[in-house]
Structure 1
Amino acid sequence: MNHSDLIIYIFEMIGTVAFASSGALVGIRKNMDIFGVNVLGITTAVGGGCIRDIILGITPPKMFQNFSYVGASILISCILFTIFYLNQELLSSRFLETYERVMISLDAIGLGVFTVMGIRTAIEASFENNIFLLIFVGAVTGIGGGMLRDVMAGMTPFVFVKHVYAIASILGAVCYIILRLYIRDTISLFLSAAVVIIIRLLAAHFRWNLPRIRQK
C-alpha cells in the first residue's frame, strides 16, 4: 500500500466509524439488543457502498472483499453498546438533548467521506465519462446506509424530512468531479468532502429546509 492508498484507506475508515457510530446510536436509542445495534451500525456504514457496488456491477460488493470495514463497524458498535450498557444513566434526558447534535455531526462526516469515495469507486470502474452516474452513485453511497438504517429502525428516512441532506451530497459530488480535473485527486477528495460536511452542518445550524407541504 503506497502513501496515497494509505491516506484514502484512513479517509474511508473515518467515514466508516462515523456512520457505524450513528447507526449504533440509533439502535441504542430504540432499545435494541446488541445484535440489533450491530446490524444498524454495519448497515449504516457499508449499506450505501453495497448498493453502489451492485449498481456498478462490482461483485461481490467490496464489503465482502475487505472485512476491515465490517470489522470496524462491529467494533465501534460493540464499544458504544458496552458504554451505554454499563452506564445506562447516559440514556437520560440529558443524553437525548445532545443526541441530535451528535447524530448530525456523525452523519455529516460520513456523508462527505462516502459521497466522494462513491464517485472515486465509479471512476476506478471506468465510468468517469458518465457524469450522471458519478453523481448518482456518489449520492447513493453517501445517503444509502442512513436510509436503510432509518427504515430498519422504523423511522422516516432522515434524508426526506431533515434539512439539506441529499442536496449537500450532490453539491459535493459535482465539486469533486470538477476539482479532480485541475488538482491532485487526494486534495480534491478532502476539499469536496469538506464542502459536503460544511453545507450539512450549516443547514442543520440555520435550519435550512427544502419546501414541503405541511398538513394542518
Structure 2
Amino acid sequence: MEEKPNPTRMELLKIKARIKLARKGHKLLKQKRDALIMEFFKILGQARDLRGQLNQELEEGYRYLAMASFSHTIFDLDNMARMVRAEYGLDVKEKNVMGVKIPKIRVEMKEFKSYPIFMSSAKVDKSVEHFRNALKLVLQLAETETAIKRIIKEIEKTKRRVNALEFVVLPRLEEQEREIRMRLEEMERDMFVSLKVIKRRLEKEAAF
C-alpha cells in the first residue's frame, strides 16, 4: 500500500517540484521519441534504395554472366571465378543519434586480383564489375539494417518511459498534490473555526 504524503506546506512544495521535473522529462522524452521515429523512416528509405540498387546490380551481374556463357565454357568461367581475389578494408565507426549508437561502415578495396586478359571478354568483365558493386551494397545494407534494429529498440524503450510518466508517475503525483491541498485547506478551516471559538470565549471572559 502506498504511503500517504504528509499534509505540510514543505511536502506540497516538494511534490510540485517533482511534477515540474516529471513534466519536463516527459516533454524531452517525447521529443526524443519523435526524433527517433523521423530518423527511423529516413534510414528505412535508405535501406529500400540500397536494396533496390543491390537487386539491380545482381540482375545485371547474372545477365552479363548468362551472355558470357555463350562465348565461354562453364569450365572457363569457373576457372576465371576462382582467379578473382579481392581484399577489402573495413573502417567501422559509430555515430550517436539521440543516444543510439549507429554503425558507419566505410569499405575500401585494398587489392584486386583478376584473371588474365586473354581469358576474358567484355561480358565477363561487366559481370565481375556488377558483382563487386553488389558486395559493397551488401555491406552498406547491413549497416542500415543494424541501425534500423537499434533505433526500433530505442523507440520502444523511450515509448515505455513516456507512457510510464504520462499514465503512472504524473497522475500519482498530481493526485498527491490534490490530496495535500485538500488536507491543508481542511486544516486551515479547522484552525479558522478553532480561532473563532477561542475569540468568542475570550470576548465572553472579557465581558465579565
Normalised by the length of structure 2, the TM-score is 0.28
Structure holding more strand per residue: 2
Question: Which has the higher Rg, Structure 1 or Structure 2?
Answer: 2
Normalised by the length of structure 1, the TM-score is 0.27
